[in-house]
Chains A and B, each alone.
Chain A
Amino acid sequence: MFAAYTTIGAIAGSLILSIWAVISVNGTADHMLTNVSYQWLSIGDTTIYIGVMMDSLASIMVVTVSTISLLVQIYSIGYMKGDGGFIRYFAFMSLFTGSMLGLVMANNLLFMFLFWEGVGLCSYLLIGFWFHKPSAARAAMKAFMVTRLGDFGFLVAVILLYVKTGTFNISELHQLALAGVLSGSTLTWAAIGVFSGAIGKSGQFPLHTWLPDAMEGPTPVSALIHAATMVTAGVFLVARMFPVFASSETAITVVAAIGGFTAIFAASMGLVATDVKRVLAYSTISQLGYMMLGLGAVGMGYATGHLDEHHALGLGVAVGVFHLFTHAFFKALLFLGSGSASHATGTFDMRKMGGLRKVQPWTYATFVIGSLSLAGIWPLAGFYSKEGILHEAFEFAPVLFVLAMITVFMTAFYMFRAVFMTFHGEYRGGDESGHSHLHESPKVMIIPLVVLAAFAVFAGWLPVGNFLGSHHDYSFFSHLFSGLFVDPSWMAWVSIMLGVSGIGLAYAIYGKKVLSAQAIGRKMGPLHKLLVRKYFFDEMYEKYFLMRFLINGVFAVTQWVDTHIVDGAVNGVATVSLAGGKIMRRLETGQLQVYGLAIFIGVLVIIACLFIFS
């Protein structure tokens, strides 16, 4: 218990400091509280700095991270009670949060990369927290490996930027990109490289496969990963480097396209998942896709000249990060809620749950609030942030806007499918192992849920966009007096209608059971199978990428090189010197007089040399 109180005390302290930071940043004219660098290493003429930047983006991130982390850790006291790794758990959680806080405050890319890897490491440790379960160990390894692929691109991009510009400093890179000093293919490739890191961390297509498997860790870990620490790092990175991205039309189009596609792609898999945590995982991937789309759409507006620098830079970050901010609360809420449901039933399989509404009224109420918020129902938080993204996509990326609108419908459907399957109808038995004593979770778990539910309602009302330097704010308070919705208001109506009809369809199928899910599944045969099997991405990666390409290709070649060339060189040197020694030792006769003669001849030779060469 001491471990838990220590880390919770520490994180509460950082929450207070974070709020202080937001207030201080808000008080400064340019929303930049501090941006200092200290010398870290000096190698020859190269000096590497570490530094902290506290601007509006960083301060919003630290508040989000520390709030979520605090609530998740409080919840964990109840959830992890009696677990053998209780202390280890809290230690890892703190390290995780600490890495993320460092990441968002870093003012240069190399320093950020350090924390970036720290976050990756902690996700590995926590996903594999129950490492005695082979599936957990495997999922941890998968998460680490898949994100590593993206990180490689990030590292290459950081090095490329350094070679071309001589700096790791983010503000300097912004200025170089905006001034056009950094441009052309260098900029494009560097931005795409950085984005590949974001793809890996944020689980965007095509590196999304690790995130659903990451459910093997304890549920609060999933909440933390999905809401605050791990996956938001990718979106944060794009937001942080936004001027660099927006200066390259190709790169920012890639960001928007990947984001928009991932949003609908992941949502479609969420439609059929039967594990409630997996539904939430696909939902996270999908929502992260939205954030990328929001950033990308505004960036495209800037790159194509529709927006000037003055408006675009603040707006892009505001749109993306506003959704990140609201999403963090309701997604953490939903994960913790699913954990609470599983705490009673012993399973995450929605087919074995049902009827929990009566025994877990608090969990049910908060879960529904989270789902409504995620589905984008007015006036909950998710509505406002999603509106921002939809508006910008409508303006600058119409094709992706259509995808995003379809995703709104799918989001509402799969979330309420989860609600109805988990909390409505009859209880379907839970886990077979006899963990069937249904009960509401303890207070220590319910209170964080209630707090998060409050945020899930109100987070969208805060003028985060203005704070992040945008002239256009999508939050509730900002257009309270100018009308219910931002212009064009039909869009808000359409998205609410889509959301409501998604909920209605879910109710029809899983609530009232007017329509049979099985019948629809059968009718959609191949499509249903495609979704259930997750578009065969796991199989494809395993069979073609892992087996054919890596194991039989790259690894086979490298193994041959290792055994024959590297080991061959080592063994060859050893064999040659051994053979040489065998020959040379014949000279050692043991005859003292022979040695004496050799010395005498040697002296003669030296003397002769002295005479000849002097």
Chain B
Amino acid sequence: MSVGLEHFLILSAVLFAIGLYGALAKKNAVVILMCIEIMLNAVNIAMVAFAHYVDVISGQVFTIFIMVVAAAEVAVGLALIISIFRRKKTLDAEKFDILKW
């Protein structure tokens, strides 16, 4: 059995679904942040796979860009989480509800 495009896409979809589940269902803010990273990387896998099979290099270049942005985003996200933790003494996302009426 050879490994084809659909295998990569299935892997990407599974990873994305796992990430989405985690982002929506987990309580811990750090875990939510990690799950978002998983979703991002799932998309990266799909992008690289398409780039390979369509045979254009720009998909892979774009993936590098996304990883760079994601690194920055993680840094900002962690900084926010630390800041919130200092204020609230908790990482439970359900307690972060000041964005309501």
Q: Which residues of A contact B55 (CB under 8 A)?
A: none
| B26 nearest in chain A by CB position | A593
The answer to whether A573 has its CB under 8 Å from any CB of chain B is no
The answer to whether A589 has its CB under 8 Å from any CB of chain B is yes
Verify B24–A600 contact, CB threshold 8 A: yes
The answer to whether B101 has its CB under 8 Å from any CB of chain A is yes
| Bound form: Cα–Cα A284–B98 in Å | 80
| Bound form: Cα–Cα A588–B98 in Å | 10
Verify B101–A585 contact, CB threshold 8 A: yes
Q: Which residues of A contact B100 (CB under 8 A)?
A: 588-590
A576-614: which residues lie under 8 A (CB-CB) from chain B? 585, 588-593, 596-597, 600
Q: Which residues of B contact A591 (CB under 8 A)?
A: 93-94, 96-97
Interface string of B21-50 (1 = CB under 8 A from A): 001110000001000000000000000000
The answer to whether B1 has its CB under 8 Å from any CB of chain A is no
Tell which of B20, B94, B99, B101 has the most Cβ of chain A within 10 Å.
B101
| A585 nearest in chain B by CB position | B101
Q: Which residues of B contact A589 (CB under 8 A)?
A: 97, 100
| Bound form: Cα–Cα A585–B23 in Å | 24
With contact pairs A588-B101, A589-B100, A590-B99 given, residues A600 and B93 touching in the complex (Cβ less than 8 Å):
no
Please give me the 5 A-B residue pairs with the lowest Cβ-Cβ distance, nearest first: A590-B100, A590-B97, A590-B99, A585-B101, A588-B100
Q: Which residues of B contact A597 (CB under 8 A)?
A: 24
- Closest Cβ of chain A to B87, distance in Å, is 15
- Closest Cβ of chain A to B13, distance in Å, is 14
| B27 nearest in chain A by CB position | A593
B32-78: which residues lie under 8 A (CB-CB) from chain A? 32
Verify B101–A596 contact, CB threshold 8 A: no
- Closest Cβ of chain B to A602, distance in Å, is 13
| Bound form: Cα–Cα A578–B20 in Å | 36
| Bound form: Cα–Cα A591–B98 in Å | 8
Contact size class for A?
10 to 19
A450-488: which residues lie under 8 A (CB-CB) from chain B? none
By DSSP majority rule, is chain A's interface helix, strand, loop, or mixed? helix
- Closest Cβ of chain B to A175, distance in Å, is 72
In the complex, 29 of the A-B residue pairs with CB atoms within 8 angstroms, ordered by the A residue number, are A585-B101, A588-B99, A588-B100, A588-B101, A589-B97, A589-B100, A590-B96, A590-B97, A590-B98, A590-B99, A590-B100, A591-B93, A591-B94, A591-B96, A591-B97, A592-B93, A592-B96, A592-B99, A593-B23, A593-B24, A593-B25, A593-B32, A593-B93, A593-B94, A596-B23, A596-B24, A597-B24, A600-B20, A600-B24
Interface string of B78-101 (1 = CB under 8 A from A): 000000000000000110111111
| Bound form: Cα–Cα A597–B25 in Å | 9
- Closest Cβ of chain B to A85, distance in Å, is 59
- Closest Cβ of chain B to A595, distance in Å, is 9
Q: Which residues of A contact B23 (CB under 8 A)?
A: 593, 596
- Closest Cβ of chain B to A477, distance in Å, is 93
Q: Which residues of A contact B94 (CB under 8 A)?
A: 591, 593
Q: Which residues of A contact B24 (CB under 8 A)?
A: 593, 596-597, 600
Q: Which residues of B contact A590 (CB under 8 A)?
A: 96-100
Q: Which residues of A contact B20 (CB under 8 A)?
A: 600
| Bound form: Cα–Cα A600–B21 in Å | 11
Q: Which residues of B contact A585 (CB under 8 A)?
A: 101
- Closest Cβ of chain A to B37, distance in Å, is 15
| B99 nearest in chain A by CB position | A590
| Bound form: Cα–Cα A589–B100 in Å | 5
- Closest Cβ of chain A to B17, distance in Å, is 11
| B96 nearest in chain A by CB position | A592
- Closest Cβ of chain B to A591, distance in Å, is 6
- Closest Cβ of chain A to B84, distance in Å, is 11
Q: Which residues of B contact A596 (CB under 8 A)?
A: 23-24
| Bound form: Cα–Cα A54–B4 in Å | 97
| Bound form: Cα–Cα A379–B57 in Å | 116
- Closest Cβ of chain A to B99, distance in Å, is 4
| B94 nearest in chain A by CB position | A591
Interface string of A556-587 (1 = CB under 8 A from B): 00000000000000000000000000000100
